[in-house]
Structure 1
């Protein structure tokens, strides 16, 4: 028996990066997986890779709360229910306290906080209406602890998601809906490569240089995160709920 046998999972932002890694890992563990994204071509290619019997793509811009809610409803219509939800869609554009515009701030709140709020609302509503247990994992960020100066709106939104994760876990523990969060650190993805080049003038050797400065000699890896998330949404993680786990090689608190 695999970890997610007969489970239905929805992954927001599942067309690339960490989200796509979670989609692939969940399918390997026996789940039927729906995932959202804004670009139909990327989503359709992932369905072709995994098979339409186990994968379902929902095109949605989760900055629009109505689309966030409808994305869950479409999964319920397609697969009959939602057993598990992973909120992995995220916006990582840069901004400091002094140069962030109201528009940029609102974008971060819309994608990094409001979208998971309303996907959780819709998914938990399905679980509660069926009297069924469920699991949710919110992909958060180490920046929720404070973050770098250039991550001001991102850190604010992710810190809000930490509070939301714990609030929702407490509210629905008697419904047997377990809700946890994962503060992931610096991770090697195609999106991170684009961010480094766009905002930090990185060249082709940035990844190797960055790895040399990290204790484990590498950035976080998508497949490692995906395996951890699969464990958290599976029954093997037991009764744990309301936990926000730092998944990183940086240790918050101590200093040299």
Structure 2
């Protein structure tokens, strides 16, 4: 018996990084999975990998900055599996911008991907759960930077802080519907997207992970598979009645000072 046996799980932003790791962990724990992304290549490759491993999965092409496509990702999951039991919002835009140099277009892009997309995917998923009078679970991948963050992450922090508030608000609103909604404020994690970001915005070389590890208390970055295991726990009944929690998944302690 897996933690998610028989559950239908949608992982938005699920074709690489944390999302792909969540999809793998969900299949391993007995779920059927749909993953979304903008590029068919990585999406179809992941579906093939999951299918070869004995799982059941499908790829849904979607640009999650578009509210209608975010809602459609849920509709296609329901059309495929008959329902949606679990939703994970893991898509994220991490391009840089400060308060002084962020343009309206950059600001809107962050709001669209990091807040509007999750909002309307949650809207569609909760609507299906409520219509069926069935319990469900949602996990939003947020960021430890949502507490304040670095000066060069202002639009990103703005949008993710909104997602943190949305997580708590929606959890409160739908607790009597037995829909549990939680979030993870993840810290610095070694993903394909983070590698691209470090190279594009910070001039990082091939050894950036090793340099970063030297500055971290536990001597390494977080791993997607570790986060995925935590997400699966929150999606499953094993996490009990917890809802409206935004958990700091990080090795730095909020408020701790040296």
TM range (shorter): over 0.9
Query: 4+ residue runs of structure 1 moved beyond 2 angstroms?
Result: none
Could you list the per-position Cα deviations for residues 164-193 of structure 1 after superposition, in whole angstroms to 9, with x for gaps in the alignment?
A: 000000000000000000000000011111
Aligned residue among 154, 166, 169 for 2:168: 166
Instruction: Tell me whether 1:23 sits opposite 2:29 in the alignment.
Output: no
Shift of residue 212 of structure 1?
1.1
The 2-side partners of 1:153 and 1:231 are apart by 30
Q: Which residue of 1 aligns with 2:230?
A: 228
Could you list the per-position Cα deviations for residues 5-44 of structure 1 after superposition, in whole angstroms to 9, with x for gaps in the alignment?
A: 0000000000000000000000000000101000001111
The 2-side partners of 1:225 and 1:21 are apart by 8
Shift of residue 254 of structure 1?
1.6
Superposed, 1:47-196 pairs within 5 Å as 47-51=47-51, 54-196=56-198
TM-score between both structures, scaled by the size of structure 1: 0.99
Could you list the per-position Cα deviations for residues 82-106 of structure 1 after superposition, in whole angstroms to 9, with x for gaps in the alignment?
A: 0000000010000000000000000
What SS is found at the alignment partner of 1:188? coil
The 2-side partners of 1:69 and 1:221 are apart by 29
Q: Which residue of 1 aligns with 2:6?
A: 6
Unaligned stretches of 5+ residues in structure 2:
none
Q: What RMSD over aligned residues (CA atoms) do the two structures have, in Å?
A: 0.8
TM-score between both structures, scaled by the size of structure 2: 0.98
The 1-side partners of 2:40 and 2:20 are apart by 14
The 1-side partners of 2:207 and 2:79 are apart by 46
What SS is found at the alignment partner of 1:214? coil
Unaligned stretches of 5+ residues in structure 1:
none
Shift of residue 48 of structure 1?
0.8
What SS is found at the alignment partner of 1:220? coil
For these two proteins, the number of residue pairs brought into alignment is 256
Shift of residue 205 of structure 1?
1.1
What SS is found at the alignment partner of 1:55? strand
The 1-side partners of 2:66 and 2:48 are apart by 27
What SS is found at the alignment partner of 2:102? coil
The 1-side partners of 2:139 and 2:206 are apart by 33
The 2-side partners of 1:239 and 1:5 are apart by 19
